[in-house]
A and B are shown apart, each in its own frame.
Chain A
Amino acid sequence: MHRLPVETVTTRLNHAIDPSLHIWGWEITLYLFLGGLVAGLLILTAALELTRRQRPTSAALQWMPLVALGLLSAGMGTLFLDLEFKLHVYRFYLAFRPHSPMSWGAWILLLVYPAGLLLALGSLPETTLRRVPLLGRLALRIAAWSQQNRSLVLWTTIAVGAGLGVYTGLLLGTLTARIQWNSAVLGPLFLTSGLSTGAAFLLLCKLDAVERALLLRWDLAAILVELLLIAAMLLGFASGGASAQLAGAALLGGPWTAAFWSLVVVTGLLVPLAMELLELRRHLPLVALTPALVLVGGLALRAILLAAGQDSGYRLLP
């Protein structure tokens, strides 16, 4: 007689739980994408300034920290939309739970705003700051402090940005009941993807030639690292136990294979990689399509992993 059941019947049919979990939808997908993008934008803006040892000259970079904070606010808006008990949102800030990545995330989000604001005020020209209504004088004083302590501001922005980027992946990675997310690679993968989408977003803006060249090289590096991390994730699944093998199977022949490989790996990584290599080696002009594909790939990565993870769980195991 077989040890494993040949048929399982359950009377449970809870909404959004059965037959498979569907608790997080487009709101969380968009939030994870925007969180990564903002992390990338802040890190890269600060890194460009550190590398060039001068304040950004292009208007796009000067305004980018504020744009990033706007995008983050949009992301937090979708996060709020996802809450089932919206009036209780303040509860996130009445507790710090060290075991909960979501609690870490809530507090990291609060740190991003002052870091981004300090970065922005130190980047924007004085003439612009003078025009700030009511708070112009305060803005100038903070800007002066930000410029005097530039190294501290830049490295703090990078650290907070890295925290934001990593946590979006760890948030899923630590929910071990969802075997598809059971990978320590998710944290660095989401950070790298955030850097890549951040670079792509910046490449869509008007930059000078040096900034473009630097970002192009960094994006290439991020795409290569992302490919390696995806390979590491799949290897981890393939060499793990029954639950890991099931998770790997979903992306290697299972229901999420076509979407993952076509949208994330080919459209979001391999095609942009080839196009960016062509631009660097053959000096072919970078069209807007390349960064757009990177952004689509970043969004698809979150959407597919979020959905595939919810589709997975111990209920699939005997």
Chain B
Amino acid sequence: MSSKRYVMVVDTRLCVGCKACVLACKSENNVPDGYCRDWIVEDIFGIFPNLRAEIRSERCNHCSGAPCVDACPTGASHVSEGGVVLVSHHKCTGCKACIAACPYDARYVHPDGYVDKCTFCLHRVQRGELPACVGICPTRTLHFGDANDPSSEVAQLLRTRRAKVNHPETGAEPNVFFLT
């Protein structure tokens, strides 16, 4: 059995863009006003009146080849358990190289001076709970788990459904997948 690889799977066919995930994250992680670690993107396709919408709950992609980790000069941005990309606040100088390096613009400077982002709620996962956004999702759009465990829900979804990632051309190997 290989090591864990935590991924998130977002079913765009179920998401209604209610933003419960955004609020749950802000509440769970004390995200300051005016900032968010996850967000909703709505893409409209087609020509009126034949329109189609794709709604996605997005966040840090915890990339397997994370450019933010490579760019960090102090080691504050690092890869933790299950491939989760974290920022050690006590090592962060706020140089913002990681923000410039992130192809998904998923990071921001916390008002306290360190760079902040989604952690996949690793503190909850280590207690055996789901990330706050996944736990609260009323339409069961969000799924979280270990992609390296063939019996996990996320592995089965990725095996049986058509999935994509945002901007695969970045080469960063993102770990948030969108079912279409």
What is the chain B residue whose CB lies nearest that of A8? Answer: B43
Within 8 A of A (CB), among B46-77: 46-47, 50, 52, 54, 58, 67, 69-76
Q: What string of 1s and 0s marks CB contacts (under 8 Å) between A90-118 and chain B?
A: 01101101011111011000000000000
Contact between B73 and A176 (Cβ–Cβ < 8 Å)?
A: no
Q: Is A209 an interface residue (CB 8 A)?
A: no
14 A/B residue pairs, CB under 8 Å, sorted by A: A2-B46, A4-B45, A8-B44, A9-B44, A11-B22, A11-B36, A12-B39, A14-B34, A15-B108, A85-B113, A95-B73, A176-B67, A177-B103, A314-B104
Known contacts being A16-B108, A84-B109, is A6 close to B169, with CB within 8 Å? no
Q: Which residues of B contact A21 (CB under 8 A)?
A: 99-100, 105
Which of B5-13, B87-95, B126-134, B139-147 lies at the interface with chain A? B87-95
Q: Is A10 an interface residue (CB 8 A)?
A: yes
B103's partner among A6, A10, A13, A313 (CB-CB below 8 A) is: A313
What is the chain B residue whose CB lies nearest that of A20? Answer: B105
Contact between A16 and B109 (Cβ–Cβ < 8 Å)?
A: yes
Known contacts being A11-B40, A12-B36, is A102 close to B97, with CB within 8 Å? yes
Within 8 A of B (CB), among A1-49: 1-18, 21, 23-24
Known contacts being A15-B34, A85-B92, A177-B102, is A100 close to B72, with CB within 8 Å? yes
Contact between A17 and B108 (Cβ–Cβ < 8 Å)?
A: yes
What is the chain B residue whose CB lies nearest that of A102? Answer: B73
What is the chain B residue whose CB lies nearest that of A318? Answer: B43
What is the chain B residue whose CB lies nearest that of A315? Answer: B105
A175's partner among B73, B74, B97, B109 (CB-CB below 8 A) is: B97
Q: Which residues of B contact A16 (CB under 8 A)?
A: 108-109
Contact between B73 and A243 (Cβ–Cβ < 8 Å)?
A: no
Within 8 A of B (CB), among A65-103: 82-86, 88-89, 91-92, 94-95, 97, 99-103
Q: Is A310 an interface residue (CB 8 A)?
A: yes
Most buried by B among A1, A11, A82, A171: A11
What is the chain A residue whose CB lies nearest that of B68? Answer: A177
What 6 additional pairs, Cβ within 8 angstroms, besides A7-B43, A92-B74, A99-B70?
A11-B41, A17-B105, A85-B113, A88-B91, A177-B101, A314-B103
Interface residue total, chain B, C-beta cutoff 8 A = 51
A91's partner among B67, B69, B91, B101 (CB-CB below 8 A) is: B91
Known contacts being A18-B105, A88-B94, A92-B73, is A10 close to B39, with CB within 8 Å? yes
Contact between A24 and B75 (Cβ–Cβ < 8 Å)?
A: no
Quote the shortest CB–CB distance from A45 to chain B (angstroms).
Answer: 29
Contact between B105 and A313 (Cβ–Cβ < 8 Å)?
A: yes
Q: Is A317 an interface residue (CB 8 A)?
A: yes
Contact between A102 and B71 (Cβ–Cβ < 8 Å)?
A: yes
Q: Is A178 an interface residue (CB 8 A)?
A: yes
Quote the shortest CB–CB distance from B74 to chain A (angstroms).
Answer: 4
B73's partner among A18, A106, A314 (CB-CB below 8 A) is: A106
CA distance A100 to B76 in the complex (A): 12
Q: Is A174 an interface residue (CB 8 A)?
A: yes
Q: Is B167 an interface residue (CB 8 A)?
A: yes
Q: Is B96 an interface residue (CB 8 A)?
A: yes
Contact between B73 and A7 (Cβ–Cβ < 8 Å)?
A: no
CA distance A8 to B166 in the complex (A): 14
Contact between B105 and A94 (Cβ–Cβ < 8 Å)?
A: no
CA distance A85 to B95 in the complex (A): 8
Q: What string of 1s and 0s marks CB contacts (under 8 Å) between B12-27 and chain A?
A: 0000000100100000
Q: Which residues of B contact A103 (CB under 8 A)?
A: 73-74
A9's partner among B22, B41, B101, B104 (CB-CB below 8 A) is: B41
CA distance A60 to B19 in the complex (A): 64
Contact between A5 and B45 (Cβ–Cβ < 8 Å)?
A: yes
Contact between B74 and A176 (Cβ–Cβ < 8 Å)?
A: no
CA distance A82 to B96 in the complex (A): 9
Contact between A23 and B36 (Cβ–Cβ < 8 Å)?
A: no
